[in-house]
């Protein structure tokens, strides 16, 4: 006798099946024959065995009683027929049994806190009732083991973490590798079907190898929701910034919907959109002018709808940094030239920049914006974010300017140093910043090509197109620069754009104090904005210089400790990650420090936080289950008994969560999961009757026991017993 735990690979399309009553322990039996069995000869031989058995006891003398004649005929026929049918290699399969187990995956995500109907019980309560009904319906047929899931599968029925999302696909994938799945015969998912994270649940169910049955909890109801809020990452005080609010509704197309934008409790915008109909979105457009700098948190709200299951998805927030005003850019040039014209034109076209240009001419210095004649001084540097020096060293401008400029850069200001004609970037070795701006010469680079080759690691600055392949082609077609200085980058320099053939770098960056400096080696930059083969070259050139100026305007970390959130605004239920960086006075990362602090909400309640070390000088803290609101963070770093620095930041947590983005149950996903895995789909209403209609085989596909009858000794015992009993009876009756 041989037994197998799987019916996979059986060779038998001919099946005879019997199903026992639902309250019996074993419910499904099926008999399979070999696929190559010769049916006609087998049936003919079986009929022949019947005729042979009847002929053997068809004589009249000696007389036999009718019972004995029929019994002896049956014994001979049974023995001969069993021997014939064993040649067809029958296999008996049995599903179920007292050891059969079914795993119930119970959705415990945040969306299960919503009511099933307006004013009704929660989906979680309804799901608990479903589990009780399943256990009652399968009592005596299968044991039920409940495992909760949310973002992923939980180990037991205890507290589930990560309730802010539903990852049914991840839960099924985790179940496939869990020991509990090895003794299970099937899976039942009890959920509202609103999957919003992780792997594809249909693919995960298909690869599990078990039937996955699904039960839908929840009902459809009218709903309005804020699908998303789009705003710029940064804004400026006094300048209007666009905000787009996308709204969804299950109402009839054309129904008016009121949309408001709030700053705290103050309304800063109002609009009306028309319902786009189910499955579509309507957009409300706002233009908001921030009144103060700092972190702005705005809330978009739609008017509530009668009969909604919840109003939690009627509001959603956005957060953005508001800068004090426009970035100041001072351009100081040794004389008018094409490079100056093209760079200045690019910067003037950006309304977020305030550009001042001073050019030295034969009659003295002149401001190009108003035509006034005046020399650059220390006052011109104050309030600027970036200074552009066009082929002129600070020492050539004047002593006061040179000293003020040096302090400006070391305190975090940005410098764009255009080399211009020879001596190019080597001219900046003079003055108060001479030691910091000095470049090393490389005689081996003399005469090398000036064709630009951007460094991939600098793509955040040098990317010329949203499509990387298109931008790479544009750079290959860009004109080379002239008047190259044969420089060799220093140990701390970062090359942004190299030159073809290993020549000197065309753009390279350096850190000076808290400020950043970018050297432009060569002249002829204007050619990058003019190309006979690229109609977008002008726009690409303008984007390059604007992006470069903005990058320079960001000072490097000057404080020993800095802490920033991963996102200014986190959705409700999602973890909030805080990143801290620690450095010494020489701007080198400090490892092994203790970084601790506290997080305080708007009501003054605080909780301690501790940062875990990551890479050298980098630390991470993660906060879970924060209530919605605005928070302030204060952090201190110590090394032993020595304080290294303090820092602070702020962030916000939205009351909107991923789980509340889709409040309606998703029957389509659950039905697809069941269909892909060979399971069945049902609903919470009437789940008891639905469960009783599932046979044990439906609960345990691929978890059946098989018995090869032609190898079973018990079958041969029956054959030998039938022949032996017939022979003994014949001898007792005196028959030959």
Provide the pLDDT confidence category of residue 29 given band limits of 50, 70 and 90. low
343 CB burial (10 A radius; 0-12, 13-18, 19+): buried
Asked if 505 and 630 sit in the same domain, the reply is: no
Q: Same domain for 690 and 717?
A: no
| 406 has a pLDDT exceeding 90 | yes
Among 237, 249, 238, CA closest to 273: 249
Arithmetic mean of pLDDT, 593-599: 95
Tens-place pLDDT, residues 295-338: 999 999 999 988 888 888 899 999 998 887 788 999 999 999 99
Q: Is the peptide bond before 423 cis (omega within 30 degrees of 0)?
A: yes
Over residues 153-168, mean pLDDT: 76
9 pLDDT exceeds 70?
no
CA max distance for the chain: 149
Report pLDDT digits (tens) over 694-712.
Answer: 876 666 554 556 677 777 7
Q: What SS3 state is found at 112?
A: helix
pLDDT for res 697: 61
Nearest Cα to Cα of residue 209 among 177, 242, 238, 232: 177
Percent pLDDT > 70 in the chain is 91
Spell out the residues 6+ positions from residue 158 whose beta carbon is closer than 8 angstroms to its own: none
Of the segments 24-38, 92-106, 585-599, which one has the largest average pLDDT value? 585-599
For 41-46, what is the mean pLDDT? Answer: 82
452 in a structural domain: yes
Per-residue pLDDT reduced to its tens digit, 212-271: 999 999 888 888 999 999 998 778 887 889 999 999 998 899 999 999 999 989 999 999
Q: What is the DSSP letter of 351?
A: T
Q: What pLDDT, on the 0 to 100 scale, is given for residue 101?
A: 83
476 φ, ψ to 5°? -65, -30
In eight-state DSSP terms, residue 115 is B
Concatenate the DSSP letters of all residues of 534-559 into one string. -TTHHHHHHHHHHHHHHHHHSPPP-S
Arithmetic mean of pLDDT, 614-631: 91
> What number is the average pLDDT over the span 275-283?
88
The whole model's pTM is what? 0.61
Q: What is the pLDDT of residue 97?
A: 44
Helix (H) or strand (E) holding 39: helix 39-56
Same domain for 196 and 148: yes
Q: Residue 32 falls within a domain, yes or no?
A: yes
Cα 180 to its chain centre, rounded Å, is 28
Asked if the structure places residue 215 within a domain, the reply is no
Residue 597 and residue 452 share a domain: no
- Among residues 497, 531, 553, the one where a domain terminates is 553
- Distance CA(237)–CA(241), nearest Å, equals 10
Q: What integer pLDDT is reported at residue 648 of this predicted model?
A: 93
Confidence (pLDDT) at 450: 82
Residue 24 pLDDT: 38
Instruction: Look at 69-83, 500-514, 580-594 and tell me which has the smallest mean pLDDT.
Output: 69-83
Does 353 lie in the same domain as 418? yes
Region class of 364: left (phi > 0), else alpha (psi between -120 and 50), else beta: left
Q: What is the pLDDT of residue 3?
A: 40
Point out the least confidently predicted range of 61-70, 485-494, 691-700: 691-700
- The answer to whether residue 64 scores a pLDDT higher than 80 is no
Those residues with Cβ within 8 angstroms of residue 246's Cβ, 6 or more apart along the chain or in another chain:
226, 227, 228, 229, 230, 281, 282, 283
39-48, 211-220, 506-515: the lowest-pLDDT one: 39-48
- 697 and 709 share one domain: no
- Does residue 365 fall inside a structural domain? yes
Q: Tell whether 660 is covered by a domain.
A: no
The answer as to whether 81 is a domain residue is yes
pLDDT-based confidence at residue 60 (cuts at 50, 70, 90):
low
Burial 369-392 (b: 16+ CB within 10 A, else e): eeeeeeebebebbeebbbbbbbbb
3-state secondary structure of 102: strand
User: Quick check: 293 pLDDT over 50?
Assistant: yes
Q: Report the alpha-carbon distance of residue 32 to residue 706 in Å, rounded.
A: 10
More confident residue, 562 or 460: 562
- Are both 643 and 673 inside the same structural domain? no
Confidence of residue 125 (pLDDT cuts 50, 70, 90): very high
Structural domain contains residue 214: no
Report yes or no: 484 and 504 within 8 Å, Cβ to Cβ: yes
Question: b/e string for 88-112 if b means 16 or more Cβ within 10 A?
Answer: bbbbbbbbbbeebbbbbbbbbbbbb
Centre a 10 Å sphere on the Cβ of residue 514 and count the other Cβ atoms it contains: 16
**What does the pLDDT read at residue 13?**
42
Q: First CA to last CA across the chain, in angstroms?
A: 35
Please report, for the domain that includes residue 540, its CATH number. 3.40.50.880
Cβ(687)–Cβ(215) under 8 Å? yes
Comparing CA positions, the residue from 530, 521, 522 lying closest to residue 477 is 530
All residues at 6 or more sequence positions from 127 whose CB lies less than 8 Å from its CB, including other chains: 106, 107, 112, 190, 191, 217, 684
* SS3 label, residue 18: strand
Last residue of a domain, one of 517, 534, 553: 553
pLDDT attached to residue 11: 38
SS3 state of residue 91: strand
CA distance 484 to 490: 17
Indicate whether 522 and 375 sit together in one domain: yes
Q: Are residues 360 and 374 in the same domain?
A: yes
Q: According to the model, what pLDDT value does residue 159 have?
A: 65
- The answer to whether residues 417 and 333 touch, using CB atoms and an 8 Å cutoff, is no
Which residues lie closer than 8 Å to 673 by C-beta, 6 or more apart? 168, 189, 201, 202, 205, 212, 214, 679
What DSSP designation does 213 have?
E
Position 213 in a domain: no
* 206 neighbors 174 (Cβ within 8 angstroms): no
Final residue of a structural domain among 635, 655, 675: 655
Identify which has the larger pLDDT, 73 or 155: 73
The residue with tokens 């770093």 is 637
Whether residue 713 is predicted with pLDDT greater than 50 in this model: the reply is yes
Check whether residue 491 and residue 540 sit in a common domain: yes
Kindly indicate the confidence band of residue 659, based on its pLDDT and cuts at 50, 70 and 90: confident
Question: What CATH number is attached to the domain comprising 617?
Answer: 2.60.40.1930
What is the helix (H) or strand (E) element at residue 71, kind and residue range?
helix 66-86
Could you tell me the pLDDT band of residue 533, with boundaries at 50, 70 and 90? low
- Find which of 105-109, 453-457, 525-529, 533-537 is predicted with most confidence, using mean pLDDT: 105-109
Mean pLDDT, rounded, for 715-726? 81
Instruction: Please give the tally of structural domains in the chain.
Output: 5
Structural domain boundaries enclosing 78: 3-96+705-732
Per mean pLDDT, which of 24-28, 197-201, 325-329 is the most reliable? 197-201
Counted residue by residue, the chain has a size of 736
Residue with tokens 């002829």: 524
If one compares 658 and 245, the residue with the highest pLDDT of the two is 245
pLDDT in tens, 408-448: 999 889 999 999 988 899 999 988 999 999 999 888 877 77
The whole-number pLDDT of residue 157 equals 57
Which CATH number fits the domain that encloses residue 318? 2.60.40.10
For residue 95, pLDDT over 80 is answered with: no
Two structure tokens written together for 726? 């017939």
Identify which has the larger pLDDT, 549 or 556.
Answer: 549
> Does 115 lie in the same domain as 176?
yes
Q: Strand 494-499 and strand 515-520: pairing?
A: unpaired
pLDDT at 273 over 80: yes
Q: Stretch 341-356: mean pLDDT, rounded?
A: 90
| Same-domain status, 544 and 498 | yes
CA gap 695, 95 in Å, rounded: 9
Q: How far apart are CA 731 and CA 712, in angstroms?
A: 29
Q: How far apart are CA 485 and CA 429, in angstroms?
A: 13
Q: Which residues contact 502 (CB under 8 A, 6 or more apart)?
A: 445, 448
Which band of pLDDT confidence, cut at 50, 70 and 90, is reported for residue 94? Answer: low
On the question of pLDDT at 100 being above 80, the answer is no
Q: 3-class secondary structure for 461-506?
A: HHCCCCCHHHHHHHHHHCCCCECCCCEECCCCCEEEEEECCCEEEE
């Amino acid at each position: 006798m041989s037994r197998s735990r799987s019916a996979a690979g059986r060779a038998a399309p001919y099946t005879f099946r019997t199903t026992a009553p639902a309250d019996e322990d074993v419910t499904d039996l099926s008999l399979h024959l070999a696929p190559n069995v010769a049916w006609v000869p087998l049936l003919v031989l079986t009929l022949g065995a019947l005729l042979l058995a009847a002929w053997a006891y068809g004589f009249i003398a000696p007389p036999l009683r009718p019972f004995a004649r029929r019994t002896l005929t049956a014994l001979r026929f049974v023995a001969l027929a069993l021997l014939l049918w064993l040649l067809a290699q029958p296999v008996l399969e049995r599903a179920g049994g007292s050891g059969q187990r079914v795993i119930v995956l119970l959705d415990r995500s945040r969306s299960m806190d919503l009511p099933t109907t307006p004013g009704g019980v929660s989906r979680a309560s309804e799901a608990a009732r479903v589990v009780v009904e399943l256990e009652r319906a399968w009592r005596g047929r299968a044991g039920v083991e409940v495992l909760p899931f949310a973002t992923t599968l939980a180990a037991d029925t205890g507290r589930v973490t990560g309730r802010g999302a539903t990852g049914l696909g991840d839960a099924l994938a985790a179940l496939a590798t869990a020991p509990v799945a090895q003794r299970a015969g099937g899976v039942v998912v009890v959920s509202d079907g609103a999957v919003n994270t992780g792997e594809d649940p249909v693919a995960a169910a298909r690869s599990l190898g078990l039937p996955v049955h699904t039960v839908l909890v929840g009902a459809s109801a009218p709903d309005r929701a804020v699908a998303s809020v789009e705003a710029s990452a940064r804004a400026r005080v006094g300048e209007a910034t666009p905000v787009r609010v996308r709204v969804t509704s299950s109402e009839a197309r054309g129904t008016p919907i009121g949309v408001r934008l709030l700053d705290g409790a103050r309304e800063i915008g109002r609009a009306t959109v028309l319902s786009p109909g189910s499955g579509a979105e309507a957009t409300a457009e706002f233009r908001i002018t921030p009144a103060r700098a700092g972190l702005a948190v705005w809330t978009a709200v739609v008017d509530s709808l009668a009969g909604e299951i919840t109003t939690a998805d009627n509001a959603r927030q956005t957060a953005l940094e508001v800068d004090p005003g426009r970035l100041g850019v001072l351009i100081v040039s040794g004389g008018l030239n094409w490079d100056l014209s093209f760079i200045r034109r690019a910067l003037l076209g950006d309304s977020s920049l305030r550009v001042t240009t001073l050019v030295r001419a034969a009659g003295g210095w002149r401001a190009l914006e108003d035509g006034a004649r005046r020399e650059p001084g220390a006052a011109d540097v104050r309030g600027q974010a970036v200074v552009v020096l066009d082929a002129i060293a600070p020492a050539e401008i004047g002593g006061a300017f040179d000293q003020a400029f040096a302090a400006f850069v070391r305190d975090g200001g940005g410098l764009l140093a255009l080399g211009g004609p020879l001596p190019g970037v080597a001219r900046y070795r003079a003055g108060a910043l001479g030691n910091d701006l000095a470049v090393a010469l490389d005689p081996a680079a003399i005469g090398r090509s000036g064709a630009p080759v951007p460094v991939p690691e600098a793509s955040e600055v040098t990317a010329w197109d949203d499509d990387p392949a298109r931008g790479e082609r544009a750079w290959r077609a860009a004109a080379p620069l002239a008047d190259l200085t044969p420089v060799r980058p220093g140990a701390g320099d970062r090359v942004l754009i190299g030159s073809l053939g290993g020549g000197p770098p065309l753009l390279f960056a350096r850190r000076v104090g808290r400020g950043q400096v970018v050297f432009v080696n060569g002249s002829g930059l204007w050619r990058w904005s003019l190309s006979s083969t690229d109609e977008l070259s002008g726009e690409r050139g303008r984007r390059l210089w604007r992006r470069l100026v903005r990058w320079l305007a960001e000072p490097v970390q000057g404080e020993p400790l800095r802490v920033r959130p991963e996102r200014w605004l986190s959705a409700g239920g999602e973890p909030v990650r805080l990143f801290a960086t620690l450095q010494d006075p020489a701007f080198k990362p400090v490892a092994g420090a203790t970084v601790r602090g506290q997080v305080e909400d708007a009501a003054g309640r605080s909780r301690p936080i501790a940062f875990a070390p990551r890479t050298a000088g980098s630390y991470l803290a993660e906060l879970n289950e924060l209530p919605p609101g605005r928070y302030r963070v204060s952090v201190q770093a110590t090394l032993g008994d020595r304080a290294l620095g303090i820092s602070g930041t702020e962030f916000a947590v939205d009351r909107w969560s991923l789980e509340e983005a889709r409040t309606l149950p998703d029957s389509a996903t659950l039905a697809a999961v069941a269909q892909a895995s060979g399971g069945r789909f049902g609903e919470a209403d009437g789940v008891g009757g639905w469960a009783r209609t599932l046979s044990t085989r439906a609960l345990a596909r691929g978890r059946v026991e098989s018995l090869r009858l032609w190898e079973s000794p018990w079958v041969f015992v029956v054959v030998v017993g039938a022949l032996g009993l017939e022979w003994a009876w014949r001898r007792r009756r005196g028959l030959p």
